[in-house]
Structures are given as structure tokens and as C-alpha cells.
């Protein structure tokens, strides 16, 4: 990789990347009418006095995980349901069999059994004949289903593999010469993570060991954030707005930090030199221990809250069209102009937040690694 990208040239390329990211939501706005088909239908029914549009349900539906991937109107792509229990073994079937609250009974080994499977929120449960949840059987069930979030993670992984195999091919062909194509697009970002994140936080001596993880973390979070802003298939999944996903990423950072921590880190954290033993044991020791435990929480809460809030605010602005449209057509058309403008602004802000949160998550991870591996003279 070339290392001569410095100064203004480096900054110009980063500005070009950020500008491209800002343009993405503008192209994706055309899909809003598709992904919001269900709310539009709900608003139409409201004007006819049949059904009132519920903004809360619409927003919750879009930010929650699901066993199908909504494409347009009433059309959704069913995803595979994968269940395992000791009594029944491995069971794989389409989520379309659970559509509209249906109970699927196709995987009962005992033909006399009345139990089946159904959806309960985003979970698959064992249902009795009368439709009630069989808690005892459900507790024995392992749900390994491919949900919308899981499918998006797999898609992002494949996308990252394709992109960086292409980048690697460019280096193989051109060596350290001037980058071209997709290689020239991603090289400034890689250099930025190396020179402005990893080296300052970890140091020249040890940064290289953590670069593969930091680069993977940055691009993985960034791609997930950007895919979540595309309102039509295959985007729209609120992956990093799911606390389970961000908790997993934070725990990975925490595990790597603990695995690479040295004696100097622990001595200055739990047994600070020059401090009376009573103060260490009763005051500073517990505080520092709590600080270690809270490190992954600072990572997971920051990105989870920002991404989730961005989705909710953007959808709230768009919901105003249908809320006022349920009152009168004139009000709906009048508010739609303001609502669309605010939605566009929110999407642009969310694009910037997507980039910032990927950067902050990577930066904090690098700082934690730097603190855990710092030698005695650096404290």
C-alpha cells in the first residue's frame, strides 16, 4: 500500500467519500413510497373510516427484526425458520407458514400431538391447539432462524468480502503504484484508520496487530449503517439499532482488550503506585473495576441509541403525512411538502451519523487496546 497520501490530497479524497455517502439517501428517497405502502394503505382506510393509521405500530415494525423481508406492498420475502430441540431434532421451514398468525404443525414426530409453532412478536414459540403458548416446550426450543437482521449481516459480510477481494486484486496487479477504481476509493479510508486512529491510540510498535480487527469493525459497522438507510430491498434493516448486535460487537472489543492487557495495565488500574493501600482497596479499586466493566457499555449504548433514534425520527416525520391525511386530503398534501423536506434532512444527518458512529466505535476500541497494551513509561 502506498503511504504517500498526505495533506490536502488525503483530505480531498476523504471529502469525496463523505460527499458520496451524503448522496446515497437522495437516491433512496424514491423507494419511500414503496416501503411505506402499508402505512399509506392504513391512512387510506382511515379516511374511509375503516381503520386509523397507527404511527407507533408502523415505526415499531420498521425498526424491529422480522422473519420476512418486506419488498413492496403486501409482498415480502419469507426467510428460513431454523429450530432445534432435543425431542424434535432440527426443523427447517419457511416463515411463510407462520404468516398472519397461522400455527404450523408440519414437524411433529407424534401424529397425535396438537402442538405447533407460531410467531410471538419476533420470536418463534410452541403453540397449543387453542393457540396459547406452551411455555414448557418453548423453553426447550433453540431458535436459529435467519431473520431480516441476520440476513443483512450475511449480506454485509459477502459485500465486504467482494469489495476487499477487488481491492486486494488491484494491489496484486499494480503493486504500490497509483491506485485505480475501487482501490482508490477505499485506500484513503484504510490509511486514515491506520494513521489517524490506530497509530495515535495504540502506538507504532503494536498497532499492526490490531489493524485487521479495527478495519473489519469500521467497514462492517459503516456498511450496516448505510444499508439501514436504504428504504427498499435489500436495505432497511435496523441492525446497529438492535442492542443485541451492538452488544456483541462491544463484547468482542472487550474480549480482545482483556486478552492483550499486560501487567502494567492491571497494576495501574487496580493497584496504583503512590496511593495508600486503604484508598486503593476501598475507593479507587472498586471505581476502576467498575470502569473496566462499563467500557463495553459505553460502546454499545452510543451506537445503538444514535442509530435507533435516527430511524425513529425519520419515520416520525414521514408519518405526519398519513396522520394529517387521515384528517383531510388538503391537510395531508399540505404537510407532505414539509414532511418530505424534514425527512430528507434527517436522512442526510443519519448518513453523517452512520459515518461518525463507525469512526467513534473504531476509535474507542483502538483507545481501549492502547490503554491495555501501554508499557510502564507510557502511563
pLDDT in tens, 53-96: 777 777 877 788 888 887 876 788 899 999 888 877 888 888 88
Q: Are residues 99 and 232 in the same domain?
A: no
233 lies in the same domain as 170: yes
Tell me whether residue 132 is in a domain: yes
Report pTM.
0.77
488500574: which residue's cell?
269
The reply to whether 316 and 219 lie within a common domain is yes
Q: What are the beta bridge partners of residue 119?
A: 124
Task: Mark whether 288 and 374 lie in a shared domain.
Answer: yes
Residue 26 resides in a domain:
yes
Residues 279 and 370 in one domain: yes
Q: Which of 8-17, 231-240, 303-312 has the lowest mean pLDDT?
A: 8-17
What whole-number distance in Å separates Cα of residue 175 and Cα of residue 179?
Answer: 9
Per-residue pLDDT, 41: 43
Q: How many domains does the chain have?
A: 2
Flag whether 53 is in a domain: no
Residue 327 lies in a domain: yes
Question: Is 27 exposed, middle or buried, given 0-12, 13-18 or 19+ CB atoms closer than 10 A?
Answer: exposed
> Both ends of the chain: CA-CA distance in Å?
32
Specify whether 134 is located in the same domain as 168. no
Residues 165 and 18 in one domain: yes
Q: How far apart are CA 41 and CA 281, in angstroms?
A: 63
Q: If you search the block for the grid coordinates 414448557, which residue do you land on? A: 136
Is omega for the bond preceding 234 within 30 degrees of 0, making it cis?
yes
In a domain, 163, yes or no: yes
39 lies in some domain: no
Task: Please compute the mean of the pLDDT values over residues 291-300 and round it to a whole number.
Answer: 85
Q: How many CB atoms lie within 10 A of CB 274?
A: 4
**Of 7 and 344, more confident:** 344
Q: Phi-psi region for residue 73, left (φ > 0), alpha (ψ -120 to 50) or beta? A: left
Sequence-ordered strand ranges (E) for 58-184: 68-72, 75-78, 80-85, 89-94, 116-120, 123-127, 142-143
Q: Contact at 8 Å (CB) between 71 and 77?
A: yes
253 pLDDT exceeds 90? yes
107 and 165 both lie in a single domain: no
Do 336 and 357 have their domain in common? yes
Q: CB within 8 A of 205, min separation 6: which ones?
A: none
Q: Residues 107, 250: one domain?
A: no
Sign of CA dihedral 274, 277, 279, 284: positive
Do 85 and 108 lie in a common domain? Answer: yes
Report the distance separating Cα 46 and Cα 5, nearest Å: 58
Are residues 343 and 311 both part of a single domain?
yes
Domain assignment of residue 282, given as a range: 7-34+149-378
Mean pLDDT, the chain, rounded, equals 79
| C-alpha cell, 307 | 442509530
The answer to whether residue 63 sits within a structural domain is: no
Amino acid at each position: 500500500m502506498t503511504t504517500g497520501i498526505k495533506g490536502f490530497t488525503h483530505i480531498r479524497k476523504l471529502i469525496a467519500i463523505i460527499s458520496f455517502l451524503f448522496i446515497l439517501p437522495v437516491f433512496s428517497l424514491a423507494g419511500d413510497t414503496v416501503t411505506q405502502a402499508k402505512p399509506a394503505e392504513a391512512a387510506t382506510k382511515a379516511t374511509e373510516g375503516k381503520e386509523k393509521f397507527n404511527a407507533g405500530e408502523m415505526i415499531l415494525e420498521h425498526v424491529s427484526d422480522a422473519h420476512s423481508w418486506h419488498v413492496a406492498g403486501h409482498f415480502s420475502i419469507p426467510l428460513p425458520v431454523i429450530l432445534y430441540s432435543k425431542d424434535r431434532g432440527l426443523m427447517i421451514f419457511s416463515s411463510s407458514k407462520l404468516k398472519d398468525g397461522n400455527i404450523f404443525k408440519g414437524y411433529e414426530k407424534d401424529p397425535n400431538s396438537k402442538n405447533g409453532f407460531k410467531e410471538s412478536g419476533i420470536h418463534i414459540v410452541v403453540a397449543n391447539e387453542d393457540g396459547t403458548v406452551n411455555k414448557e416446550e418453548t423453553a426447550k426450543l433453540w431458535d436459529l432462524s435467519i431473520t431480516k437482521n441476520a440476513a443483512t449481516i450475511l449480506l454485509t459480510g459477502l459485500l465486504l468480502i467482494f469489495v476487499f477481494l477487488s481491492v486486494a486484486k488491484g494491489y496484486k496487479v499494480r503493486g504500490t503504484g497509483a491506485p485505480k477504481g475501487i482501490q482508490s476509493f477505499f485506500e484513503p479510508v484504510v490509511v486514515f484508520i491506520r494513521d489517524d486512529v490506530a497509530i495515535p491510540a495504540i502506538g507504532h510498535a503494536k498497532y499492526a496487530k490490531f489493524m485487521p480487527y479495527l478495519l473489519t469493525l469500521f467497514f462492517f459497522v459503516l456498511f450496516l449503517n448505510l444499508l439501514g438507510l436504504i428504504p427498499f430491498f435489500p436495505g432497511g434493516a435496523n441492525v446497529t439499532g438492535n442492542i443485541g448486535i451492538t452488544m456483541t460487537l462491544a463484547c468482542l472489543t472487550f474480549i480482545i482488550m482483556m486478552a492483550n492487557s499486560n501487567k502494567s495495565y492491571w497494576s495501574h488500574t487496580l493497584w496504583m503506585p503512590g496511593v495508600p493501600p486503604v484508598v486503593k482497596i476501598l475507593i479507587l479499586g472498586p471505581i476502576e473495576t467498575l470502569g473496566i466493566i462499563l467500557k463495553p457499555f459505553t460502546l454499545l449504548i452510543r451506537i445503538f441509541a444514535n442509530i435507533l433514534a435516527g430511524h425513529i425520527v425519520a419515520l416520525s416525520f414521514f408519518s405526519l403525512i398519513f396522520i394529517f391525511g387521515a384528517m383531510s386530503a388538503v391537510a395531508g398534501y399540505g404537510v407532505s411538502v414539509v414532511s418530505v423536506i424534514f425527512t430528507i434532512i434527517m436522512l442526510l444527518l443519519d448518513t453523517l451519523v452512520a459515518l461518525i458512529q463507525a469512526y467513534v466505535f473504531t476509535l474507542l476500541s483502538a483507545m481501549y487496546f492502547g490503554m491495555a497494551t501501554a508499557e510502564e513509561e507510557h502511563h
